[in-house]
Amino acid sequence: MRQYKFILSGGGTGGHIYPAIAIANELKSRFPDAEFLFVGAKDKMEMQKVPQAGFQIKGLWIAGLQRKITLQNMMFPLKLADSLWKAKQIIKEFKPDVVIGTGGFASGPLLKMASMMEVPTVIQEQNSFPGITNKLLSKKADVICVAYENLERFFTKEKMVLTGNPVRQDLIDIDGKRAAAVAYFNLDVNKKTLLVLGGSLGARRVNQLIEKELENIQNQGVQLIWQCGKLYFDDYKKYDSNTVHVVDFIERMDFVYAAADVIISRAGASSVSELSIVGKPVIFIPSPNVAEDHQTKNAKAIVDKKGAILLKESELDSEFSLVFEALLQDQAKQSQLSKNIKDLAMPEATKEIADEIVKLIRNK
């Protein structure tokens, strides 16, 4: 069998990194002798997370544009030119059969150069409302794997394949892990568990909400696993106790989902896909500070199918305690949300994306 070579690029946040790693692992299981190279942005978390997953990575000197005038924005043209040149060198040296982008700063220059060099490219678009980079890259991409329906206004219909988002395979069946999860986090088996997810870096407004509502939540007999993110851990670790487990990062996501009864989460694309597979009652608090407000759109795609509750940041002070208490006391509502969100899950996404990649390289 021919030895294939794959370049993958996705980074900046866990929502771009872990899908790329999931795709790489699926391809590696099919082609054990294949060579893999990741390309990320220097100084971003992919430079640590990808090697931890067992893959080689090279960094580009690239960063996103800020919304205000900054020195970083003034440097952007120079960084972009440097990254395009380095991406070209990486492609020339590695000679990939295909380049796969899952989003993030580095995937732009890499996929742009790959398409200019006539290397087949695959975009994995995670959101219900694509960002400008993927919209531009899609014009030359060979295949676009999407997670939501009705994206024809952004992408060429003939190139699109509805696959869903790649998720960690250990989340596919968490029902049998609850006892182990309760022991792992040293939880009280007789109490409801609230899981708070702010993303790998953390979510300031979500953390502020939990700090404000902490006493009220505990008074209802609820224990917490509070993932506050590495940027905020020093601010909130003082609340760690027997009933409040404050962590910056969670390694065993399968256990944390298995232990949870109710989940509060941002609405990044990967989180939404994972939560659909997990099938627990969710309150989404989308970040309003992301491009195109895509987190709100991601959450609405679930809420419109009655699979979750959505609270905007502007509603938290007036609405949260009422919504949370009502959900906690309504077992039928919890069951209905769980069923409806699970109905939207696409557990075979990683395999279907790998199928499209294999089809592309064998037909080229």
Q: State residue 245's pLDDT score.
A: 96
In the predicted model, residues of the chain with pLDDT beneath 50 are 65-67
Q: Which helix (H) or strand (E) holds 308?
A: none
Give 265's Cβ-side CA count (13 Å radius). 27
Q: State residue 65's pLDDT score.
A: 47
Q: State residue 302's pLDDT score.
A: 95
Structure tokens, 199? 């993303």
Q: State residue 75's pLDDT score.
A: 65
Q: Which helix (H) or strand (E) holds 167?
A: none
Q: State residue 312's pLDDT score.
A: 96
Q: State residue 290's pLDDT score.
A: 77
Cα dihedral 236, 242, 245, 251 sign: positive
pLDDT digits (tens, 9 = 90+) for 2-44: 799 999 998 777 778 889 999 999 999 999 999 999 998 887 7
Q: State residue 69's pLDDT score.
A: 55
Per-residue exposure over 10-29, b if at least 16 CB sit within 10 Å of its own CB, e if not: bbbbbbbbbbbbbbbbbbbe
Q: State residue 207's pLDDT score.
A: 96
pLDDT digits (tens, 9 = 90+) for 306-322: 999 999 999 999 999 99
Q: Check residue 279 and report its DSSP letter.
A: T
- How many angstroms separate the first and last alpha carbons of the chain? 16
